[in-house]
Structure 1
């Protein structure tokens, strides 16, 4: 597989190519209030009915800081007042007229670890085995101080204890320097750190844990960052290929895939159709047999269509960057065995998703419920924004 990183003046995007087929898409608009951004903000007023405060983060932008995201492991429940200075991170981007959701529980991402200076707990990626997770958590607890927290990323299983400890110290030092800078330069609310470093660390994590042979980019600085991270790693790096502009065939695949991925109906080569309807509250996905050809009987045919739809749906989730609640209306299956097999296959596909995805099972009405973490700009939002700017 090839990982493509495309830098444009207004947008970063990266995606996987497998046999000239685009498998996912991550968008990172430049200059937007994006997840992972860290700000120096000032509390403007409280919203008692919402159990939140509104925070001015500069440039005319305000965010909502829920009470559940205020303070840290030892200061929970201590209320904020107008005028209080706060360091906040964007937890969820604002869209459809809503303001971004903020948190005081900051995260600093490395290639192997996510450092949380105020979390007070440690956890490990589900992709690590239980034995690996327990061993690495023991290593990390030997260097953590009170109230500090960490998340061990899946790539942590590919390195040694010394490398983990070195990255831990580097992330801690970065946090210390950021606090020192704020202490010397209070001033107006402003952006302190872009969330882009978190994206670079995710790219490294993907290179380590997925079967990526080559990284192609038109941004030499990102390739240099990845090379530096691999220089300190205990694994074989992929090949790095700097090309500016990107090869025309790569750009064409991206353009065509994005064009198709904004369509509400997917017509699969097998004849079935999949309808995807994105709303502010949730995404509804409907599977239809269409002209799906099968020699199976009616009972087996429904299972065959649902089974064939799973990889198509999971790919569309990654291409469109679907987030939040996702409900799948599969063809009715009377066999409990078929129902469980479809659910198990969805769970297997979800484990390969670099974005945290949880399969909850069947609702009382027979829909398959999935939740997917917010990890970037939805394709729909980007297309909508581009359309508004052109009017």
Structure 2
């Protein structure tokens, strides 16, 4: 039986936040702080900017009827992926199943928008339903209806906003829009400015699509420093502090045109100490790359990220409660809920997340932990679903994945262990070397052998494994010499025939 997702509470009081923007020619970094604690980190590098939101004139490379999908060339090394569920006609008529082979053919050009960045070995994911985000509205130029954010719950407010927008739309223009939550406090002038901006943007995209060749970029989403003003600034934002004079000017200019409420919140930082260092962000970044997250009262989390899912293990560690063991477990699990919700945002972990809380026998304790986790997850800007405890005592969380995690942005697989997180022992390598020499003896006539290996392996052969090496020399009847290669990792070795 499938578990029903646990609803996340809405309208929780949110703490005031500060947004720090650190800009260099190579990258832009944004940190979101709540009560002076880092909650989110966003990094965009000039050499590898994310492409979510970009619009391309794609060219169909291959149609796969069996998977009801197609691969679309958009100018990158890996072809992008388009599924039938993301084709406009199917989205408009979900109850009428379509066939992708009747919609697309190889070589066809098609207007597509990226909805997921390339991740790992997977290409970008596309949609043929175009959406253009503004400050208060999302424009759906291929649609003819007005939708309203589900976060606007009062029916009277929903009807009022829809009526106001309908009056502002020019006759004959596309009437597909989604009213964002931020529009609740927007004036008619602000809404009109958003409509004009989005209409001009769509007209420009259409013009380019008729004159540029296939695989051309038609629309590039705003850079991160400006997207901060469009997507992150809210009534809860106290300040947006930026450490670049040039970009400060650009952000103020954009805010004056599209985000009037943010103009007075933007500040230029001119202190001597680096902005991120002053607020301890650099230290938090280092911590966010570690497997272990220490909790305040002695417990800790172990976070392991794989391609398929992320697992989070909760441990009591050195925490000793004041009452009994059950109470200690309960308090540790409660503390872990806040920490793991923060880590999901901080590390930008997406997909399936499995949480292994410490086993609790008390049903009330389990319910209280789930309720606290739901509150903590409700503050996330990204869509999150939460399921209850399984029969094995695990909690499943899913978080929408739209960009690479922090670790994937900042790190790469270790060249020594190839991403396994561990290496073979020197003793294991010694035995591999000995087996290799026996194989080589049977294949070739050699006068002797020279072993090239790391210092630790050579030391092992000369010390603990000296007897087994002597037995090998006696067995093959040929001399073996040893040589240290300082550049070799512990797993690397070569057997040279003499």
Q: Same fold (TM over 0.5)?
A: yes
Distance in 1 (CA, whole Å) between partners of 2:258 and 2:53 is 24
Q: Secondary structure at the match of 2:358?
A: coil
- Summarize the Cα distance change of 1:298–1:385 in structure 2 as closer, same or farther, 3 Å threshold: closer
Question: Which deviates the most, 18-27 or 275-284?
Answer: 18-27
Task: Give CA-to-partner distance per residue, 1:9-61, whole Å, 9 cap, x none.
Answer: 34322112356542210122334352222212111111233221111111434
Alignment gaps of 5+ in structure 1: none
Pairing partner for 1:130 from 150, 154, 164 = 154
1:204 positional shift: 3.4
Q: Deviations over 1:147-174 (max 9, x none)?
A: 8543333322221344224312321221
TM superposition shift of 1:244: 7.0
Of 126-135 and 173-182, the range deviating more from structure 2: 126-135
The corresponding residue for 1:239 is: 265
Cα shift readout 1:202-245 (whole Å, capped 9, x = no counterpart): 53342224232343242634653455435655747443223479
Q: Which residue of 2 aligns with 1:34?
A: 51
Aligned-partner SS, 1:310: helix
For 1:9 and 1:346, how far apart are their aligned partners in 2?
Answer: 39
Q: TM-score, normalised by structure 1?
A: 0.87
1:99 counterpart = 2:123: yes
Does the 8 A contact of 2:230 with 2:259 survive in 1? Answer: no
CA deviations 1:162-197 (Å, max 9, x no partner) are: 4224312321221122101221x2224122222335
| CA–CA distance in structure 1, aligned partners of residues 143 and 248 of structure 2 | 29
For the 8 Å contact 1:59–1:190, the answer to whether it is kept is no
- The match for 2:336 is 309
The structure 2 residue matched to 1:329, chosen from 344, 349, 356, is 356
How far apart in 2 are the matches of 1:156 and 1:45? 41
Identify the range of structure 1 (70-79 vs 314-323) with the bigger mean alpha-carbon deviation: 70-79
Aligned equivalents of 1:329, 1:20: Cα separation in 2: 29
Measured against aligned partners, the alpha-carbon deviations of 1:50-102 in whole angstroms (never above 9, x if no partner) come to 22111111143420111111234558655210111112111112222111111
- Where does structure 1 differ by over 6 angstroms across 4 or more consecutive aligned residues? 144-147
Q: Does 1:15 align with 2:28?
A: no
Q: Once the 2 structures are TM-superposed, how far is the Cα of residue 385 of structure 1 from its aligned partner?
A: 4.5
Q: Is the 8 A contact 1:108 1:115 kept in 2?
A: yes
Q: Write the mapping of 1:1-391 to structure 2, written as runs, cut at 5 A.
A: 1-18=17-34, 21-32=37-48, 34-72=51-89, 77=99, 78-119=102-143, 122-131=146-155, 132-140=157-165, 143=169, 149-183=176-210, 185-196=211-222, 200-218=226-244, 220-221=246-247, 224-229=250-255, 235=261, 237-243=263-269, 247-248=273-274, 250-251=276-277, 253-385=280-412
Report SS of the residue matched to 1:280.
coil
Q: Check conservation: 1:215, 1:238, Cα contact below 8 A.
A: no
Counterpart Cα distance in 2 of 1:17 and 1:204: 18
Q: Distance in 2 between matches of 1:117 and 1:316?
A: 37
C-alpha displacement at 1:283, in angstroms? Answer: 1.1
Deviation at 1:339, TM superposition (A): 2.2
Deviates more, 1:251-260 or 1:90-99: 251-260
- The range that moved more, 31-40 or 220-229, is 220-229
Matched position secondary structure for 1:212:
strand
**SS across alignment from 2:286:** helix
Which whole-Å CA distance do the structure 1 matches of 2:412 and 2:233 have between them?
31
Q: 1:138 to 1:359 in 2, by over 3 A?
A: farther
TM-score, L = length of structure 2 = 0.69
Q: State the Cα distance separating 1:276 from its structure 2 match.
A: 0.8
Deviates further, 109-118 or 154-163: 154-163
Native 8 Å contact 1:285 1:327 kept in 2: yes
Aligned to 2:473: none
The structure whose Rg is larger is 2
Q: 1:162 to 1:92 in 2, by over 3 A?
A: same
Q: 1:119 to 1:7 in 2, by over 3 A?
A: farther
Q: Distance in 2 between matches of 1:35 and 1:122?
A: 23
Deviation at 1:103, TM superposition (A): 1.0
Distance 2:357 2:71 in 1: 41
- The answer to whether the 8 Å contact 1:88/1:106 transfers is yes
Relative distance call for 1:61 and 1:120 in structure 2 (3 A) is farther
CA distance in 1, matches of 2:52, 2:370: 30
RMSD: 3.1
> Measured at CA, do residues 126 and 74 of structure 1 come closer, stay the same or move farther in structure 2, by a change above 3 Å?
closer
Could you tell me how far 1:310 is from its partner in structure 2? 1.6
> In 1, Cα distance between the equivalents of 2:270 and 2:59?
42
